[in-house]
Amino acid sequence: MESMNDDVHEPTTSTPAAAVAGVDLISELTDDLLLRILSFLPAASEVARTSVLSRRWRHLWPNAVALRFTVGSKPNFSRPDDDINNARRLIAAVDATFARRAGGPDVEDLEVSFIYSSEENIYFSCPSFYLYKHYHAADITSAHVGSWLRFSAQRVTGRFTLAVPLERKERLTVLDAEEEDGDEEEEEVLAADEAVEEEDGAAAAMEEDVVAGAEEVDDEPMAGYGDVDPDELPEAVEEDEEGVEAELEDEEDEELVAEYNVYNLGKDEERVFSVELPCSTRAKEMSLTLAKATLTVPAASAGAFRSLTDIMLSHVCLKAGNGDDIRLGHLLSSCCSPLLRRVQLKYTEGLAALRLDAADRLVELRLFWLPGLQTLDVDAPGLRYLGVRDCGKDTAMRISAPELEVLACDSICHAEQLRFDGAGSVRRIEDLPLYSHRLTPHNKYDYENSAALWLLRHCTSLNQLSVKLTLSWFWGFQVSLPLCVAKSIDGEEIGHEDMMPDIPELPNIRSLRIINVKTWCGDGHRIGATMAKLIAKCTNIEYLFINIDPMEEECIDPNCICDHPKGWENQKISLPNLRNVEISDSQLLQSDVNLLRLLLTSAPALERLTMIQGTTFEEDEVVDFDVPCYGGHWAPCVWECDGWGSIYAKKYTWTQGNQSGGR
């Protein structure tokens, strides 16, 4: 026992000599290891502040293996000029850091983002604008972007992200008066950068005054790792900026707020902005959002992207007719990108033809808002996910993907333009457009279900289906024809024909999602009958989700075919396996109530039915949606409080068995 006790207590009886002497053990680590430690710090300001720890650390942080330059998540709505000045310093810091790193060590992770990162900053494609105003966009030029892309091609060995916002046509008027101040600030940043390079003088300054040293480093605050937030910059720097920036008067502040409030009525300006797509043999991931820049795609040799695994290309324009679309497809094919696994092309104009001869490593291809796409030709033996959204219904598609599992296609070509090798392996279809009726006999004015029906017939392994269901029609000249009214085109009377009977039986579907149920007529149509016809095709579903777009009122014409066949709500659908239903509805109209009743009487194994709706009821009101309980009970499960302090139920759940009481 004695020897065991000695062993246990022995470490506490001796102290390392280095600890007694107060030696800095961290600084004894190698530079590579210290740089790796710095890369884990979450913000650039924190990386810069490590320079106060010792002289040696002062010159480590500019060589961090991860660099992130971002404008933050949201603008300063009351002082947009501050955002612009911060962005100008950020641009200068990016340029200065890249110049210093041009002949230095490589960068594993590089992010340069001038787009606010908040999820609220939604992009609208028509007209094109972001929810948040990016006043600083005008300060980013083709020269800036071109130099950043070239640096990435030369120095980035891992992930590279570049995000440049669109520029608004309107410009902040207060900037004209403060432009001179902005230029002075930019000169100060560049001067500070030169001071950083003067090692001996800077180190001496750091020794004499730690705070002054931190100020010097943070005068170039945007270089380093982590999200760059001006609020997180050192206090000394913020105080220095206050001496440079002019304070706005109250009336000027109000004017800026008003300008921020109305900016979204305008359209982002599509600048003459030209860049060349960089070819990098070392980068593994690349994400480029380029403010609708005119993109030149170089003629690439074999292995141009030999290390690339992921690429996202967004907001670019290709010159029509000069072969950039052909070269882009070649660049993303197996000969140039043998390791490519994921491809995203979004908001890309001028892409008339996309031909991908992909390696078997490609598992995911997402195409979104390619308005000029006329031909899509994909040969991808290992592809698992294919998304084609907002690319036009006239695109001719030839898809060879024998391992495809998920197909997302809210815009799809006509059946005669579709060639699909691999449909039999698809297990899930997302956002499939289905239309309830068609015009007769003038189908030339009409959308159709031919491609959707082809997929439903040939995707024999399908067990999860998500459809976008539209009632009535919406054709080229933007006129919607009520289902209950016969009209004429070119002197010939036309009407509507029900297309739901054309849908094949789908006994393998286990999960059915009917999303964005729409009616194009102003007063809406009854949706219950059409949805009942669709649900009846999927007799073995276990889960059902329905989302209905709000409408002001239902169709009241008793002869309208939207509610045919008459008495549909009294029929019974065979749904023996249905256990869970979720319905998101805004008003719970009579047609919806009839559908609820039908589901409750047709699903003997139903365990839960959840209704999320906008129509509210008082807390103490008995709510059954005018629907019998059928062996279960309705109970509120989510509550909301309005501005007057009243509590309302927002969500109700039907479950089997007697009500147990309580909320």
Average pLDDT over every residue of 304-329: 93
pLDDT of 569 above 70 = yes
Give the residue with greater pLDDT, 202 vs 489.
489
41-54: pLDDT as tens digits: 655 556 666 666 66
Average pLDDT over every residue of 210-233: 34
* Selection from 199-213, 392-406, 560-574 with the highest mean pLDDT: 392-406
Average pLDDT over every residue of 20-30: 63
| Cβ atoms 371, 340 nearer than 8 A | no
Dihedral over Cα of 560, 561, 563, 565: its sign? positive
Residue 125 is encoded by which pair of tokens?
A: 């494609």
pLDDT for position 231: 40
Q: Which helix (H) or strand (E) holds 26?
A: none
Dihedral over Cα of 249, 253, 254, 255: its sign? positive
Q: Residue 477's CB: how many other CB atoms inside 10 A?
A: 5
pLDDT of 82 above 70 = yes
Residue 575 is encoded by which pair of tokens?
A: 């749904």
pLDDT of 395 above 70 = yes
pLDDT band at 137 (very low <50, low <70, confident <90, very high): very high
pLDDT for position 568: 87
- The C-alpha atoms of residue 401 and residue 380 are separated, in whole angstroms, by 5
pLDDT of 525 above 60 = yes
pLDDT for position 431: 94
Half-sphere exposure of 203 (CA within 13 A, CB side): 11
98-127: pLDDT as tens digits: 888 888 889 999 999 999 999 999 998 877
Q: Which long-range contacts (CB under 8 A, 24 or more apart) does 247-252 make?
A: 248/79, 248/81, 248/174, 252/174
Average pLDDT over every residue of 158-175: 72
Give the residue with greater pLDDT, 247 vs 373.
373
pLDDT for position 307: 96
Q: Which value, to the nearest 10 degrees, does the dihedral of the CA atoms of residues 509, 514, 515, 516 take?
A: 150
pLDDT band at 222 (very low <50, low <70, confident <90, very high): very low
| Global confidence as pTM | 0.77
pLDDT band at 149 (very low <50, low <70, confident <90, very high): very high
- The C-alpha atoms of residue 415 and residue 404 are separated, in whole angstroms, by 19
The distance in angstroms from the start CA to the end CA of the chain is: 63
Give the residue with greater pLDDT, 482 vs 339.
339
On the 0-12 / 13-18 / 19+ scale of CB atoms within 10 A, 271 is middle
- The C-alpha atoms of residue 432 and residue 296 are separated, in whole angstroms, by 34
- The C-alpha atoms of residue 257 and residue 79 are separated, in whole angstroms, by 8
579-631: pLDDT as tens digits: 999 998 756 777 888 888 899 999 999 999 998 875 544 444 444 456 677 77
Give the residue with greater pLDDT, 188 vs 214.
188
pLDDT for position 508: 97
333-355: pLDDT as tens digits: 999 999 999 999 999 999 999 99
pLDDT for position 245: 36
**12-26, 56-70, 302-316: least confidently modelled range:** 12-26
pLDDT for position 41: 64
Q: Residue 372's CB: how many other CB atoms inside 10 A?
A: 17
pLDDT for position 643: 66
* Selection from 66-70, 425-429, 615-619 with the highest mean pLDDT: 425-429
Share of the chain above pLDDT 90, in %: 40
State which amino acid sits at residue 544.
Answer: L
- Backbone conformation region of residue 369, classed left if phi is above 0, alpha if psi is from -120 to 50, else beta: left
253-295: pLDDT as tens digits: 444 433 443 333 444 444 568 999 999 999 999 999 999 999 9
pLDDT for position 420: 95
**∠ CA 334-336-341 to the nearest 5 degrees?**
50
State which amino acid sits at residue 263.
Answer: Y
Residue 190 is encoded by which pair of tokens?
A: 């560049």
Task: Tell me the backbone φ, ψ of residue 471, rounded to 5 degrees.
Answer: -95, 150
pLDDT for position 283: 96
pLDDT for position 243: 37
pLDDT band at 445 (very low <50, low <70, confident <90, very high): very low
Share of the chain above pLDDT 70, in %: 66
pLDDT band at 72 (very low <50, low <70, confident <90, very high): confident
Average per-residue pLDDT for the chain: 76
Give the residue with greater pLDDT, 492 vs 558.
558
State which amino acid sits at residue 105.
Answer: P
Residue 350 is encoded by which pair of tokens?
A: 């001028």
